Structures are given as structure tokens and as C-alpha cells.
Chain A
Amino acid sequence: MAAVIEARGLTRHFGGLRAVDGVDFSLEHGEIHGLIGPNGAGKTTFVSLLSGRIPVQSGTISLNGEDITHLPAHLRVRKGVAYTFQITSVYPRLSVFDNVALAAQSRGAGDVPAEVAQALGRVGMTGLDGAQAGTLSYGHQRLLEVAMGLALRPVILILDEPTQGLASGEIDGFKALIRSLVPQTTILLIEHNMDVVMDLADRITVLNFGQVLAVGAPDQIRANKAVQDAYLGGDHAAG
């Protein structure tokens, strides 16, 4: 399989803190890729570099072979790199319809209402389009966030802690939703909930102190001694 997005030697320091330190990384077309690591391992900084929210200090990023290292964030979105925020970041004072429509019209969708209906349908929120986004339940706001990501019709969808704060029943629905997105969309999933990652991911990258500790299938990661020491061992439950 071909790499959709590829990072080489990606680095970002904040003062003396090496948040991301020479990371090589690739996403294969159509996979669900988990990104894990202890708190402060540099996960959010890393995806912020991928999505262009933070400028790269050194290293390169390419999307389908095209160098996008210095492309502004909004142009990466147009090229298909979509990012959903860790802290729910819908427009609370706008309607659900407007929230999703903003995503759909961004890539010049012809029939915006149809695109909105379709995206809301996929996350199971049909009929809620008139509601004010800020009045939705937390779970619905997270789903709305995903619907906005879907309406962008992305090549890669980066999901930052999507199940955080969801009830266990909601998590099952969420997993099914993510599975239904591949292989048209490639998923990069940052997740604290180990069960979700182990269950969903085809491959997992483990970050620690801004560096790649291990890459592999869930079983390999589970068996990896270094990963156990750094991360899983001891306080697995706290993850």
C-alpha cells in the first residue's frame, strides 16, 4: 500500500522542551492508525504539525508525494487533511445545519443541503439540523464535530481524542462509525482509551518524549517490552 501522508524527521521544540523530536511517520492508504503515548508525549503537537496548526521547525511532510511542509493549514484542509479538535469546537451559537454546511461549502460542494443531510445521516443525527449546536448534549456535539470532518470529504481524518467523555454505549456506536469510514478515508486516531485503539487500529505508533518508541500492529505493540515499560505497564487503568 502507498503512503498517503509521510513525515520525515519532524521536529518542534518549545524553548527547551522537545515536544516533537525527529519523528518519521507514514499513514498507509485506507488504514486506521492509532497514535498513543503517555501524557505530554507530543501527540497533539505532532498532529498539529501534520495539520499545519503549528509551523514545522525542521523535517518534511508530504501528502501523496507532494511536499506540504510549509503549506498553510487552511490549504491543507482543502487538500484533504481534516482535523477534529480534542476539545469540542463546534460553533455553539450556530445551528447544526450551519455548522456542517460550513464544512461542506468549504470544498465547494454543489448541493450543500444534500451534503449536510448525508453527513448528519452518517453520524446518526438526522433531524437535528435546526437545533442550536450549543444546546446539544456532549455526545451529540462530538458527533457533530465528526460530521463536520466528514462533510469536508477528507483524504485523511485526524481525530483527536474522539471518545473522551463519551458513555460506553456511545463508544460502541462510535467504533462502528469509524469502521464505516475506511477505506475511502484514512484515519489517524489519537486515543487514550486503550480498548478502543486496540480494537480499531490496523497499526499503532507509540510516541514518548517526542520520539517514536514503536510502530506496529496492536498485538505487537501489546507485546513490546519498551512500550510496556514506558506506558502500558503499571498504570494501564489510568490511561
Chain B
Amino acid sequence: MTDGAKVWGLHLLVLAAVFAAQFLLPPYHATNLARIMVLAVFAMGYNIAFGYTGLLSLGHALFFAAGMYGMGLPVWHLEWVSVPALIAGLLAGGVMAGAVGVLALRTAGVSFMIVTLMFAQAGYLTLLYLNSWTGGDEGFVVASAARQAFGFSLATDTPRFTAAFVLFAAGLLACLWLVRSPFGRVMVAMRENEERSRMLGYDPFRVKLVALILSGLYAGLAGAAYGMLFGYVGASFATIQYSILPMLYVLLGGAGTVLGPFLGALLMFYLIDITSNYTDAYLFVVGAALVGLVLFAPKGILGTLRERAWRWLP
């Protein structure tokens, strides 16, 4: 079997297994899985910037929230409905990433982290400040009239799972295609050695900006879908915590692997879910996982697997 066949085979197999899971799992877990798939889309976007292009951002909550409010505000104020609202969210994430990127990408490394953190913080505070428009701290519920698509209510289990799955599958396959494309190769080259890439004729600023916008589109779509499928839009999704979560998922699953974000989201979600049966100290689990990963497994699960055995894993 060629590497290409192995790669597509594996990813389609994973998608088939995830799709089948809704029929095999009890409803509680099926809903969890829908949530995980949406969060995985967010993490895939984060991975495009961090894992493949080497842009360690601390501001992705801003792009997630841009998507969520880009979907939610037109629903609230203009009575938009599901599909157009989701598209608005997707675009809002991309536009926000582009705007942040134009400024933040003049810096690198630690400065880039702090600049993205500060922009995200300013975004969060702006949501609070404009509370008559955004609902501030309280947030708002997405009207159920808007949560209808193709005759189904996205508030019910099966359509919700299906919608999450469609977005997840599209995101995963697009990501796989992207990283195997010539542009994907250039993203990795930028991560590995920016100066060398410049001397091969690539504009680092442009490549990183495009990667960040793609990343923002994913984050925006995930934010919009999260609000749409679970019915609530709130400023808490713009806090630093939602910048850390995708980073944690990506680090756990394996930065720079296509399936890593999903695997990381899945494991972390259930790690928190299971430990919260015994203790409410879930923040401690998140913190310990972060420290443990950077100390002992900086490549994550699939990154280590690729290093040891599956060299062909994208």
C-alpha cells in the first residue's frame, strides 16, 4: 500500500468510526462527542497555526468568540437563521485573524504570544463593555427559531450530531488536503526555518498571515457551531481559557498531526469528565496535563507515534 492510500484510509476509517459511534453510544456520550467534534475543529485550526506553521498564539479565543458572536449577533439583532449565520461566524473568525495577524505577525516568538494574548483580552473586555449589544457577562440564548436547518432542529440529538459530524469531517479532510498540498509544505518550512524559506523565495509574512487566516476560519466556524448547536453565546468563551484549551488538545494529541487535535480533545474531555466524578479540581488536571506534556511528551501522542513507528502519518 502506498503512503497516500494508507493516509486516506486511516482518516476515512476514523471518520467512519466516529459517525458510527452515535448509534452505539448512549445519548449522553453522543452529545459529548458532538461537543468534542466541534472543539476538535477549533483545535484543528489552532494546529494549522501552531503545529504546522509554528505560530504559538495565546489569542485564539478571540477567533472562536468572533465566530460565535459573528453567528449569534445577527441571529439576535437581525433574525438570521442557521446556515447564513454559521457562514457569518466562519468569516468573522477569518477576518478577525487577518486583522490581528497583520499587526501581530510583525513580531515573533514570545512577543507574538503576548501580542495575541493582549488582543484577545481587549476583545473579551470589548464584549463586556458593549453589553447592551452583546449581552455582556450574561451572554444570550440563541433563539430556537434560528436553530433550524433543512427542516431539522439542531437542538435535538441526531441532527445536532450530524451537523457536528459534517463540520468535523469537512474540517478534517480539508486539513489533510491542506497539509499535503504545496502550501502545506511551505507552512512547515516556515516553522522549521524562516530565514531559509525566505531565501527560497517565500514571503514569511504572507505565508504566516494566510496560515493564521485559515486557522481563524476554523476557529470561527467552531465558535459559530458551538453557539448554534448548544444554544448559548457568552463572553466566557472569549476568555484566555479558550485560548489555552485548543493548545492543550493539540499538545496532547500531537502538534503537527492531522488527527492529533481530535484525539487530544477526546482524551482531555473525558479526562476532565471522569476526574470530575471524584473531585471538582478539574483546573488542576488541566494545569498538570500542560506541565506534564511540555516536560515529558512535547510531541504529544501522535507526534511520538510518528517518530517511533508511523513515519507516513501526516
Contacts and interface: CB of A to CB of B under 8 A. Distances in A.
Interface of A: 51, 53, 72-75, 77-78, 82-83, 85, 89-94, 98, 101-103, 105-107, 112, 148, 152
B185 A78 contact: no
B1 interface: no
> Which residue, of B197, B199, B202, B204, has the highest number of chain A Cβ atoms within 10 A?
B199
A89 to B, nearest CB: 5
B199 A91 contact: no
Contact of A106 (B195, B201, B204): B201
Nearest to A90: B196
A152 B185 CA distance: 16
A83 B204 CA distance: 17
Contacts of B202: 74, 106
Given A89-B193, A91-B192, A91-B193, A51 B199 contact: yes
A103 B192 contact: no
Contact of B185 (A72, A75, A101): A101
B151 interface: no
8 contacts: A72-B203, A74-B198, A74-B201, A77-B198, A98-B188, A105-B182, A112-B182, A148-B200
A107 B201 CA distance: 8
A107 B182 CA distance: 12
B186 interface: yes
B203 A77 contact: no
Given A91-B193, A93-B192, A94-B192, A83 B185 contact: no
A89 B197 CA distance: 10
Interface in B171-211: 182, 185-186, 188-189, 192-193, 195-204
A112 B185 CA distance: 13
A103 B185 contact: no
